[in-house]
Structures are given as C-alpha cells and as structure tokens.
Amino acid sequence: MITPSEIQSVKQRFGIIGNSPLLNQAILVAMQASPTDMTVLITGESGSGKESFSKIIHSLSLRKHGKFIAINCGAIPEGTIDSELFGHEKGSFTGAHEARKGYFEVTDGGSIFLDEIGEMPLGTQARLLRVLENGEFIKVGSSKVQKTNVRVITATNVNLLKAVEKGKFREDLYYRLNTVPIYVPPLRERGEDVVLLFRKFTGDFSEKYHVKPISLDAEAQVLLMRYAFPGNIRQLKNIAEQISLLEENREVNAQTLSRYLPADASRLPMALGSGGKGEQSDFSERDLLYKVLFDMKKDMNDLKKLVLESFQNGGMNSSIMQKHQGLFEDLDAGFSQKENMDSGSSFPLVLESQKNASINNEDYEEDAIEDIIHEEDDNSLSLEKKEKEMILKALRKHNNKRKYAAGDLGISERTLYRKIKQYEIE
C-alpha cells in the first residue's frame, strides 16, 4: 500500500510540484507499475510533463541501474527511424559506411522511453510489436535475429484510438502498449497547482536574474487559475520568466498579468469541456447530423406557419414579411423589391413568382393548407430515418462506393459501414 508520504517523497525527488488529485493519481499508478516489467502508455497534452513519469518508472524499477534512453519518435525522419531504433549493417543503405547498434541493442537490460509514439511509421510499428511480443529484432540490412531485454515506456499527446480508426496506428500495437495507462492531467485541470508552479518558476528566475521575486495578488491568482494554458507547463514557465525579467513592480495584479496571457487562448474555468479525461470536447458525427436536421426542420416549420398566416390574413402583406424576415435573410435569388400595394410601404423581399406569375389563389391556398396538414406526419419521422435517407442518397450518388459516400457525409468509412449494418442497408 503506497502512502501519501511516499507519493510526496517521489514528488520531491523528481521536482514535481502540485497536490491536485489527478496528479497524485498519476504518480500513484506510476509507482505501482514501476516494480513490474509491464509496458506503460503515458497520455497527456504536450508540455504536461509526461517525460518526468517515464523517469519515475525507470528509477523505481528493478532496472534502475541499467540504461535509460528517451527517444522522440516525431523528431526522427521516417527513412532513418528503423536504423536509429534497431541498428544497421555496413552497406545496408547509402551512407551506411559502418555497422551501428540501435537503441534497443544499447539499452539491453534497461528502459527505453518512446515519446510521441503516435508519430511512428507503420512499418516501424510492426518491428516494435515484434520486440514487445518476443524480445526480438533484426538490424536494417541483416537477416540475423537478435534478442533484447528492454522495458518499453511510451507517451503520446494524440488520441491513439482515433489514429487506429484512421489506419495510422496498428490496433494490435495499441493494446500491447496500453497495458498500464497513465493519464497526466493538463495544467488547467490542476487547480491551485498553477499558482504553486508559478511561484516556483518566478523564484528560480529571481535567483537567475538577481531580482526580487514576483508575487501575485488574489485577483491575479484567480485569473491564472482560470486561464486554459494550451502550452501547459512550458507556457507557464515562459510567462513566469517574462514577468520576472520585464516587470519593475514586483507585486503583479490581474491587469498586469493579463498582458502576458495571449488573447487568442481560452480563459475558462479549469477542466471546462474536458470531461475529466483530458480529451477535448467535440460534437460526434451523430450530434452534428442531428443539429443539421433540427435546423432544417425548424426552418420548414417556420415557413409553413408563414404561408398559413399569410392566407389567414388575406395575402402576403409587409407586416407578415417583416415578422418572418429571418427566413429570407440568406436568400439573394428569386426575390425582388416591390412596393406593397395594400399598405403603401415598401419591403425588399418579395417572391419573384408573386411579381411575374399569375397564381390561382384558391389552388395555392389549398396546396399550402394540405402541406400543413401533413406537418404532423413529417414531424413523426425519426432522426434515424432521416439519417438513413441521407446515407442512401450518398450511396446512390457515388454508385455504392463507401469511401466516397463517407467523404460526402463527413464521416469515416468505418462509421459508415457501422451505420449500414445498423440500418440494414443492402
């Protein structure tokens, strides 16, 4: 059983500042996973401090006396990453003037931290999966199988499940890496930790620049905690350094602090829209479709009410047009300006068909009222039926080619396939 005092000891050892429950939970999981050899996947936004957790895991493990290497997969070109990780033989490619050991061979008996694992090419992912499954790898340009005993710790700031859906990440590798998941919370979810970190950074910079430390008043502290910090700890540290170097008044208020907070970033209550899981909230494909359908239905209902009201009042007079002006704001064709004959006032939006065509008023009224009578039937159509109709229309348009139909609908091909099965579309 890991005690709070042991967690605090780890924080002090690795220079981790903060007391938020999410941060303490992440440290607890890292400490529990450290004595094992299980693969760990650390998730969190860029700049949230994921590398610190990889060091905790290695330093508290049985491999602490072995080598530890941190690799940024996104910083290595696709053409050389296999050579960097697994090594190569002399002459295996242009420029390979001598044989080279890869990181998996060098760190045998230790730990390797693969940051930004989501950026790893698919071919390299297959090689990595073999290492994780069998502890085997083959150098570039060689046919000899070599063994390695390496603890793999990975991290990513992207949603790997979505990458799997898009075919950019291997599903089998994802589940192999995600043996022990650790979620590192972004700064906006850590509450008062932001103020503690700011105080630590400004204290460090006061020593560096030989100036008096910066202090924040109560309003400035509230503003700091409400700021979203898209760049997380890196951004906070940069702001602390700017203020420490540039501000003559060492007592900083909210107005002064606001000048250092970029205006294009959100200033929101912490964790707003994160769902508590660190993922950015966004509408699902189904939500977006529902919104479009609701908007279309609302416009149709408003238009039907307009037609009925116009006939009940003896014609399309200007007062009715003005009342429902919002229905016509987006239209620039089929309308023309015409002076209203009944009231003598002018209104810019009159149907061109009213101007030029001779319409039998009784027939038109009968059609309109019949349309409104059927409104209840139209409203009874479920959103699922409308969604099915849109899918059928897209499939017919693209000759049943799901890839193009999915693109036209704005959803993934996998989602379209699921919906085709759901609605039993042949």
Element (H, E) at 29: helix 21-33
CA 267 – CA 254 distance, rounded (Å): 13
Alpha-carbon gap, residue 80 to 174, rounded angstroms: 22
pLDDT in the model for residue 283:
38
User: What sign results for the dihedral spanned by CA atoms 33, 34, 36, 39?
Assistant: positive
- Split at pLDDT 50, 70, 90, the class of 294 is low
Is a pLDDT exceeding 70 seen at residue 48?
yes
- DSSP calls for 259-288: TTS-TTS-B-STTTTTTTTTPPP---HHHH
CB atoms within 10 A of CB 3: 8
335/353 Cα distance (integer angstroms): 8
Per-residue pLDDT, 319: 59
pLDDT for the residue 322: 58
> Percentage of residues in the chain with pLDDT exceeding 90?
53
**Cβ distance 182 to 34 under 8 Å?**
no
Question: Average of pLDDT values for 97-102?
Answer: 89
Work out the average pLDDT over 141-154: 94
Give ∠ CA 101-107-108 in degrees, rounded to 5. 95
pLDDT band, residue 382 (cuts 50/70/90) = low
Average pLDDT over residues 161-190: 94
pLDDT of residue 308: 63
Q: What is the dihedral of CA 4, 5, 10, 12, to 10 degrees?
A: 120
Please report which helix (H) or strand (E) contains residue 396, including its range.
helix 383-397
Confidence check: pLDDT of 280 > 70? no
pLDDT band at 72 (very low <50, low <70, confident <90, very high): very high
Residue 402, φ and ψ in degrees, nearest 5: -65, -35
47-61, 171-185, 286-300: segment of lowest average pLDDT: 286-300
Count other C-beta atoms under 10 Å from residue 315's C-beta. Answer: 12
Task: Read off the pLDDT of residues 296-347 as tens digits, 9 standing for 90 and up.
Answer: 666 676 676 666 666 556 555 555 555 555 555 444 434 444 344 344 443 3
Contact between 185 and 278 under an 8 Å Cβ cutoff? The reply is yes
Please tell me which residue, 32 or 79, carries the higher pLDDT value.
32
Name the phi and psi angles at 372, rounded to 5.
-70, -35
Provide the pLDDT for residue 373: 47
Could you give the CA distance from residue 185 to residue 166 in angstroms, rounded to a whole number? Answer: 25
Q: Residue 307, Cβ neighbours under 10 Å: how many?
A: 19
Confidence category of residue 360, pLDDT binned at 50, 70, 90: very low
Q: How sure is the predictor about 418, in pLDDT bands with cuts at 50, 70 and 90?
A: confident
pLDDT in the model for residue 274:
38
| Mean predicted confidence (pLDDT) in 161-187 | 94
Residues of the chain with pLDDT > 70: what percent?
72
C-beta separation of 176 from 134 below 8 A: no
Crossing angle of the two packed helices 285-312 and 383-397, in degrees rounded to 10: 110
For the cut 80, the answer to whether the pLDDT of residue 228 exceeds it is yes
pLDDT single digits (tens) 347-357? 343 344 444 43
User: CA geometry: angle at 393 spanning 389 and 397, to 5°?
Assistant: 170
What domains can be seen in the chain, in order of their start residue? Answer: 4-185 (3.40.50.300), 188-258 (1.10.8.60), 305-376 (no CATH), 383-422 (1.10.10)
Average pLDDT, the chain: 79
- Asked if residue 160 has pLDDT above 70, the reply is yes
Predicted local distance difference test score (pLDDT) of residue 356: 43
* Average pLDDT of the residues in 113-133: 94
Interior CA angle at 177 toward 173 and 178, to 5°?
115
- Nearest CA to 23 out of 138, 188, 145, 167 is that of 188
pLDDT at position 312 is 59
Least confident of 62-76, 104-118, 248-262, 299-313: 299-313
Label residue 376 by pLDDT band (50, 70, 90): very low
CA distances from 86 to 41, 80, 137, 301 (A): 21, 10, 7, 65
Residue 393: what pLDDT? 85
What pLDDT was estimated at residue 236?
A: 95
**pLDDT value of residue 353:** 40
